Amino acid sequence: MKKFVLIVLFLVSIFCEAVGLRPPQTGKFFENTQISISLPYPYPANESTTFQYQLLQNVEARIVLYDVLGNEVASYPLSAENNRLTIVTSGLKTGMYLYSLVLEGKNVATKKLLVSH
């Protein structure tokens, strides 16, 4: 089911771009009372990409990276001691990936990540 949802989100995002529907770029990937996390930079990613974040409450949080088929590629925990997560993308193939923010075991937001070498 998770793979199906990720594939649907991917297809919807492609459709929205094709017809010119884009959300405003605020610099934030997600923000609520538990966490504030930026969009990755640089984008598209070449050798690496970085998220800046702040955990506002003691919460289990992680970024999960998927390929376009919904297969998990990697999972990165977010800790209260750090405020930055750098994902090394040099070992990934050029293409499109999806990344999800998971809070307390629940997927709360998903976006695409382009990797270009």
Fold classification of 2-115 is Immunoglobulin-like (2.60.40)
Given a cut of 50, whether residue 21 has pLDDT beyond it is: no
Q: Please give the structure tokens belonging to residue 79.
A: 């800790």
User: Domain residues of the chain, as ranges?
Assistant: 2-115
Given a cut of 50, whether residue 111 has pLDDT beyond it is: yes
Give the per-residue pLDDT at 81: 87
| Cα–Cα distance for residue pair 77/83, rounded to 1 Å | 12
Residue 28 pLDDT class (50, 70, 90 cuts): confident
Give the per-residue pLDDT at 18: 55
Q: List residues bridging with 28 in a β-sheet.
A: 38
Given a cut of 80, whether residue 54 has pLDDT beyond it is: yes
HSE (CB half, 13 Å, CA atoms) of 36?
A: 6
Could you give the percent of the chain with pLDDT greater than 70?
79
pTM: 0.76
